[in-house]
């Protein structure tokens, strides 16, 4: 089995965030890492929207990220964003320092052609003692420290040469054995020797103490390392033990900007520390008033951001409940005297956050969507209480505050993220031909069920009913330099309606357009003219309302028309072409000759006039004989035929567009065989919509007019209509069939994506003040104004909110219902929450004296009645081992919850399955496995239960039948030969349904540790173990035995599993590997010819396991934990592929190769790409994809697709090695993607 890996949706989870001026002076950009992907984001200050400037797969794991600006630096010659022009920026710009799993330190520059520096210092991989996990930079940009989790730290000195280029020194060691590091930052000491602060734990005594006493009394220390620039070495300058364990250090600006030093964020406290005479200043972290959280629970800071300008210095820190506090320091010279905290706002818990100079706060959420907020005020309002370190409190006492809705922040944009995906099922339950992906993601109150559909999200700006059913619509400007459109022209079967665009859209009668006849085409002509083409003639409306008319000769009528800014071509009945061109006075002149075509004209197209030229050189004409001809409009050979292409079906519409793309690489000039670079230069494409629903896209040679490199895509059952519109300032094509599609370029790559909207009939571009890049379209008797905001997105999401973390779900397709279990650790059920509130209110009343009892009673009653929205402020945290869980039934179409059952406190739902028992064949049962009093570490529990529900009322209701108590946690349930096969701990059992409980019929106790998943086919069961990969069992009916006859040679920590056939299975593990295993052919025979099963019972000779070992057919390292995998067809008429989802929110496919020829081609392409393509972090691609096991029989499509972004000369050399042209290689890459996915 040979497979091809493709990523459909990039990871959504963000692990690191930095900000700075990376592309130019005063350019506020954000760089985020998403595991293996590095992205550059830019918030638009005017609209508040976040735009992705660059997304880059580094084929390695990014472990740390930091910006650095060399002191007094000048990055010199830079490249513009589109790489088409150069400029000199004598300004300070930031470099990006990256710590990765490549064993190298990387210094990158945005827009650079390659990484600036790449210094190797250790082994590759995420190892304990190889640096890369921590990065710290000197605030003055003189040095960078890269540290490991344990022992090793290296310091590099950065400098500049005579050309102002960055230079890097050899590494200086700052190692200390037996030391675990928690955090490292650079300390701002001005221009003195650079100093770095580290949180460390020395465990040498613990290792030498067999009693464990030293481990219980271990202390964390804050250590300062100084880089002596004169002597060129690193020394441990100062170290002091900390009272409480800390998790985060925040650098305090020094010099003229602040007092220097660090803020130490530990359990319940924030402490300011600095070496010298500075005393420690400590302030408790405030807690919420009257919260029902577990009182023993400590509070820590999880994210921080610093904002400094000439006049303002403050820190924003966020607690694990999501509350943000503003910290300011009161200092006299360099001595800090007071820490002040003020409650700022409450937002979702962040993995990282940053404050930009233009007043934005970017929040990379720990789970779920990411947010961009505008800071409207700095939280200095006097009505908010301020907490100070100078207020004396008892030890472990703290301040209290009341959370509220957003006051200082306004949400301006939201970035969709599926992280973490906990489960996924693919099915076409909405009967849309294309299957939907049902995905559960998020954690706690921020959890969601998302229904993903392939397509762009469409925002409806306006919908208006029209007096009849129109057949066409156009928008026109009055002048060519107008920013917005002036008229919407709607054509009916017997009339034309003209609407003016202003604050409102209303009908006008003085536009000059002829309203008594249907219109064929309408556009803005020249600088300030308008043009209307109808069956009887052409109407040219000048700016002064003068009208020039051209009438069709004799009994002929105009059937087709093509127009651009200065040219008009019309087709008359009988196949006659008439060409008009505008002269310098604005007069439309007919070309002296007319051209007779050899057939009826069915469609025509003109391209836009290139900048600096007077005319478009080519006219495309589609004839009824299923051909497309390119006609020259050059004065030297006007109306002569240049080229022709035969089509598989008659053309419906044509559209010529100019697109900027790096994809496709080269254009083949068929006349001379030479190749030209597409790169950033604009290339003309001829799009041909056929009557059979197929779209063809050909490259149009700008010199000869030849058509080449034709790509084909099936769009729908109706004839394809094409319309040229603008998207992000570039030309794009709207293609309408039974679905509407958009062909556009995004970040240099072609996209052909359907719109998640009902089918449209005709469309045009639309620009107004409220909607600068929209679409006006007609559907039935309505006129619609639409916008597309999330360009580049693969999926459109319908989101349904959940209450707890979703664990697993199943779909009952016959009745369109979805059964979902949700459970949260450290959580209360609703009944427990009410009990806690009542208990707190009773304690408040009991503690009050007689004078204040009435007022305290009112406060207590208000607290009982108050319901804080948990999706905003988070759920209260309970003690360890406490669980809340519920079972939900949802409608898959509407997302409505039909049934909800909450389990008792400390019962956590683990698994579920729909079941039909042979003894009750007419009934459908739902079995839910539940754990009781489960403590995760160290693991303990009070057994488990299997709830049995009867499914009633077309799946809407569940009737509780009984529950079966078991001695271990039931972790997986599967229907098996008319009974239930259930994994209980490490035991595999077969149960039959009884009247009062499930009846155990058979058991196998040979699974080593803990069962994760069970799948069954026929009399075989495929069981995955939490630590020991897969075990394949056969059920012996006569002996009532489950016999293990095959297992795996590798110990895999399995997460998900999918059956491919009777002998083949796909398994994923928690380290990010996907493996496909198959039972050997002779093993099938062995088990069949052993009727007693005794051989399977006693033969344990091979590696202490089953008598047969599975063969590994394929193996691949994805880079993230794969949480689900399944067989599915993603596009109508496509073939099956393996679709997987990951913990960080990415979606990918493994595509089986249909022929050895295809496999050989892509294998050689991957081999060339490994040699030619330099990964951004210096990680060797083959080693990365073979992280834990050697990659086998899986080709990396993500690497192959980087071919389109290579230098043109490299593309040519690789294509020559494959005996292809570069455009043929690009076509193969597109074909394999569109044949199986999108």
Cα dihedral sign, 1057-1058-1059-1064: negative
- DSSP β-bridge partners for residue 533: 521, 538
Decide: helix, strand or coil at residue 519.
Answer: strand
Residue where a domain terminates, one of 973, 1002, 1031 = 1002
626's tokens: 């299923």
The answer to whether residues 902 and 996 belong to one domain is yes
Q: For residue 449, is it within any domain?
A: no
On whether both 969 and 1041 belong to a single domain, the answer is no
Q: Are the C-beta atoms of 163 and 152 separated by less than 8 Å?
A: no
Residue 118 lies in a domain: no
Residue 1085, pLDDT score: 42
Residue 702 and residue 688: Cα distance in Å, rounded? 18
Predicted confidence (pLDDT) per residue in 29-85, tens digit: 999 999 999 999 999 988 889 999 889 999 999 999 999 998 765 544 443 333 333
pLDDT tens for residues 717-753?
899 999 999 988 889 999 999 999 999 988 778 889 9
Tell me if 681 is assigned to some domain: no
Is there a domain that residue 1168 lies in?
Answer: yes
The answer to whether residues 994 and 1104 belong to one domain is no
- Is the Cα torsion angle 1223, 1229, 1235, 1237 positive or negative in sign? negative
Q: Does the residue 822 lie in any domain?
A: yes
* pLDDT for the residue numbered 115: 58
- Domain end call among 1002, 1031, 1050: 1002
Q: Is residue 406, in this structure, part of any structural domain at all?
A: no
Q: Is residue 891 part of a domain?
A: yes
943 and 1087 share one domain = no
Domain identity same for 1105 and 1204: no
Q: Which residues contact 1047 (CB under 8 A, 6 or more apart)?
A: 1028, 1029, 1030, 1031, 1032, 1105, 1106, 1108, 1109, 1110
What percent of the chain stands above pLDDT 70?
95
Which CATH number belongs to the domain containing residue 1219 in this structure? 1.10.150.910
Strand partners, 707: 700
pTM of the model: 0.92
Rounded Cα–Cα distance for residues 757 and 1153 (Å)? 33
Tens digit of each residue's pLDDT (9 = 90 or more) over 1173-1231 = 989 999 999 999 999 999 999 999 999 999 998 888 999 999 999 999 998 999 999 99
Under DSSP, is residue 693 helix (H, G, I), strand (E, B) or coil?
coil
**Which residues of the chain are under the pLDDT cut of 50?**
75-91, 113, 664-680, 1085-1086, 1088-1089, 1101
**What's the pLDDT at 92?**
66
Last residue of some domain: 949, 969, 1002? 1002
In the numeric block, which tokens belong to residue 538? 């052409």
- Which residues in 526-562 are b (16+ Cβ under 10 Å) and which e? bebbbbbbbeebbbbbbeeeeeeebebeeeeebbbbb
Residues 971 and 1018 grouped into a single domain: no
Same domain as 1013, residue 960: no
Range of the domain at 1013: 1006-1117
> How many residues can be counted in the chain?
1238
Residues 1100 and 1030 in one domain: yes
Q: Which of 1150, 1154, 1160, 1145 is nearest to 1117 (CA)?
A: 1150
Tens of pLDDT, residues 214-232: 888 899 999 999 999 999 9
Tokens 């006006």 locate to 776
Query: Tokens standing for 1219?
Result: 């005996």
Identify whether residues 970 and 1086 lie together within a single domain: no
> Has residue 651 been placed in a domain?
no
Alpha carbon distances (Å) from 199 to 155, 173, 236, 279, 485: 17, 18, 13, 19, 61
The CA distance from 441 to 420, in Å, is 5
Q: How many domains does the chain have?
A: 4
In this structure, the answer to whether residues 820 and 937 fall within a common structural domain is: yes
Instruction: Say yes or no: 774 and 893 in one domain.
Output: no
Same domain, 1101 and 1197: no
- For tokens 């050399």, the residue is 1213
């Amino acid at each position: 089995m040979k497979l091809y890996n493709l990523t459909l949706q990039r990871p959504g989870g963000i692990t690191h965030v930095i900000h700075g001026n990376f592309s130019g002076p005063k350019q506020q950009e954000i760089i985020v890492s998403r595991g293996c992907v590095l992205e550059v984001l830019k918030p638009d200050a005017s609209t508040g929207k976040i735009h992705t400037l660059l997304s880059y797969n580094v084929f390695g794991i990014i472990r740390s990220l930091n910006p650095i600006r060399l002191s007094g630096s000048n990055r010199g010659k830079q490249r513009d964003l589109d790489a088409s022009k150069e400029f000199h920026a004598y300004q300070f710009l930031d470099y990006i320092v990256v710590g990765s799993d490549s064993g190298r330190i990387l210094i990158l520059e945005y827009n650079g052609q390659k990484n600036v520096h790449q210094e190797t210092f250790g082994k590759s991989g995420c190892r304990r003692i190889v640096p890369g996990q921590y990065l710290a930079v000197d605030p003055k940009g003189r040095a960078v420290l890269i540290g490991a989790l344990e022992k090793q730290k290296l310091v590099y000195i950065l400098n500049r040469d005579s050309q102002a280029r960055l230079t890097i020194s050899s590494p200086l060691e700052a190692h200390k054995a037996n030391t675990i590091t928690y955090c490292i930052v650079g300390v701002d000491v001005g221009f003195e020797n650079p100093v770095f602060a580290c949180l460390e734990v020395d465990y040498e005594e613990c290792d030498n103490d067999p009693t464990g006493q030293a481990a219980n009394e271990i202390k964390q220390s804050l250590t300062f390392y100084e880089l002596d620039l004169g002597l060129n070495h690193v020394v441990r300058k100062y170290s002091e033990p900390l009272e409480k364990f800390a998790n985060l250090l925040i650098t305090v600006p020094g010099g003229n900007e602040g007092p220097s030093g660090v803020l130490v964020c530990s359990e319940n406290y924030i402490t300011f520390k600095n070496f010298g005479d500075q005393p420690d200043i400590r302030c408790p972290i405030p807690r919420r008033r009257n919260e029902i959280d577990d009182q023993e629970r400590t509070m820590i800071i999880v994210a921080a951001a610093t904002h400094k300008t000439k006049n303002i210095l403050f820190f924003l820190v966020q607690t694990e409940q999501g509350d943000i506090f503003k910290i300011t320091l009161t200092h006299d010279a360099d001595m800090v005297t007071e820490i002040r905290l003020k409650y700022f706002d409450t937002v979702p818990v962040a993995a990282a956050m940053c404050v930009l100079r233009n007043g934005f706060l970017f929040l990379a959420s720990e789970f779920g969507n990411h947010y961009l907020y505008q800071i409207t005020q700095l939280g200095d309002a006097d009505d908010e209480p301020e907490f100070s370190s100078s207020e004396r409190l008892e030890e472990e006492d703290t301040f209290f505050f009341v959370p509220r809705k957003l006051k200082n922040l306004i949400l301006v944009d939201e970035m969709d993220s599926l992280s973490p995906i906990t489960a996924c099922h693919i099915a076409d339950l909405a009967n849309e031909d294309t299957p939907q992906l049902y995905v559960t993601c998020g954690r706690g109150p921020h959890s969601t069920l998302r229904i993903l559909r392939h397509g762009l999200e469409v925002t409806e700006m306006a919908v208006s009913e029209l007096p009849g059913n129109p057949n066409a619509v156009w928008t026109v400007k009055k002048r060519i330099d107008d920013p917005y459109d002036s008229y919407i022209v709607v054509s009916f079967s017997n009339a034309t309606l003209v609407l003016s665009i202003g604050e409102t859209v209303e009908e006008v009668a003085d536009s000059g357009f002829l309203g008594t006849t249907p219109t064929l085409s309408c556009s803005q002509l020249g600088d300030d003219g308008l043009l209307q083409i109808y069956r009887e003639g052409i109407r040219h409306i000048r700016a002064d309302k003068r009208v020039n008319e051209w009438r069709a000769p004799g009994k002929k009528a105009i059937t087709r028309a093509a127009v651009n800014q200065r040219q008009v071509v019309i087709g008359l009945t009988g196949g006659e072409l008439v060409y008009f061109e505008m002269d310098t006075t604005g007069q439309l002149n007919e070309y002296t000759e007319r051209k007779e075509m050899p057939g009826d004209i069915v469609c025509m197209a003109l391209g836009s006039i290139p900048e600096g030229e007077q005319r478009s050189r080519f006219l495309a004409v589609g004839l009824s004989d299923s051909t497309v001809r390119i006609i020259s409009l050059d004065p030297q050979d006007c109306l002569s035929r240049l080229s022709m292409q035969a089509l598989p079906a008659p053309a419906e519409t044509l559209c010529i567009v100019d697109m900027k793309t790096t994809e496709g690489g080269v254009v083949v000039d068929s006349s001379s065989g030479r190749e030209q670079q597409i790169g950033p230069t604009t290339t003309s494409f001829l799009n041909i919509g056929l009557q059979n629903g197929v779209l063809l896209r050909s490259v149009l040679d700008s010199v000869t007019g030849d058509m080449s490199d034709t790509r084909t895509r099936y769009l729908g059952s109706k004839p394809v209509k094409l319309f040229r519109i603008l998207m992000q300032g570039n030309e794009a094509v709207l293609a309408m069939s039974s679905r509407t599609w958009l062909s556009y370029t995004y970040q240099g790559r072609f996209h052909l994506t359907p719109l998640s909207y009902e089918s449209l009939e005709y469309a045009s571009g639309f620009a107004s003040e409220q909607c600068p890049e929209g679409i006006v379209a007609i559907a039935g008797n309505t006129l619609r104004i639409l916008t597309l905001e999330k360009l580049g997105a693969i999926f459109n999401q319908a989101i349904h909110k959940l209450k707890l973390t979703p664990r697993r779900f199943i779909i009952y397709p016959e009745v369109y219902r979805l059964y979902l279990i949700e459970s949260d650790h450290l959580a209360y059920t609703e009944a427990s929450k009410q009990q806690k509130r009542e208990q707190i209110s009773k304690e408040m009343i009991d503690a009050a004296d007689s004078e204040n009892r009435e007022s305290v009673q009112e406060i207590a009653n208000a607290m009982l009645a108050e319901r804080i929205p948990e999706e905003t402020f988070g759920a209260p945290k309970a003690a360890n081992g406490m669980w809340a869980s519920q079972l939900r039934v949802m409608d898959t179409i509407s997302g409505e919850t039909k049934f909800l059952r909450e389990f008792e406190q400390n019962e956590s739902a683990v698994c579920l399955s729909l079941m039909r028992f042979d003894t009750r064949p007419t009934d459908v049962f739902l079995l839910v496995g539940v754990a009781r009093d489960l403590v995760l570490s160290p693991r303990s529990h009070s057994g488990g239960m299997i709830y049995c529900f009867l499914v009633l009322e077309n799946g809407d209701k569940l009737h509780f039948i009984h529950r079966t108590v078991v001695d271990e946690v039931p972790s997986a349930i599967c229907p098996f030969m008319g009974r239930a096969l259930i994994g209980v701990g490490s035991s595999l059992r077969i149960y039959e349904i009884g009247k009062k409980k499930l009846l155990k019929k058979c058991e196998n106790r040979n699974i080593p540790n803990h069962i994760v998943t069970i799948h069954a086919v026929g009399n075989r069961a495929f069981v995955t173990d939490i630590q020991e990969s897969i075990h394949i069992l056969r059920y012996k009916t006569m002996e009532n035995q489950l016999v293990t006859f095959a297992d795996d040679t590798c110990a895999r920590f399995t997460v998900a599993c999918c059956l491919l056939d009777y002998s083949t299975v796909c398994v994923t593990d928690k380290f990010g590997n996907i493996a496909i295993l198959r039972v050997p052919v002779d093993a099938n025979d062995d088990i069949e010819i052993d009727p007693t099963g005794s051989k399977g019972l006693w033969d344990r000779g091979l590696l202490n396991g089953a008598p047969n070992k599975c063969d590994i057919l394929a193996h691949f390292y994805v880079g993230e934990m794969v949480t689900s995998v399944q067989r599915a067809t993603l596009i109508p008429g496509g073939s099956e592929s393996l679709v997987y989802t990951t913990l960080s929110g990415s979606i990918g496919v493994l595509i089986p190769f249909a022929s050895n020829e295809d496999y050989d081609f892509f294998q050689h392409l991957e081999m060339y790409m490994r040699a030619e393509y330099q990964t951004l972090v210096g990680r060797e691609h083959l080693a990365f994809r073979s992280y834990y096991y050697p990659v086998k029989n899986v080709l990396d499509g993500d690497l192959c697709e980087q071919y389109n972004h290579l230098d043109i000369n490299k593309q040519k050399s690789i294509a020559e090695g494959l005996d292809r042209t570069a455009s043929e290689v690009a076509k193969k890459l597109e074909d394999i993607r569109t044949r199986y996915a999108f």
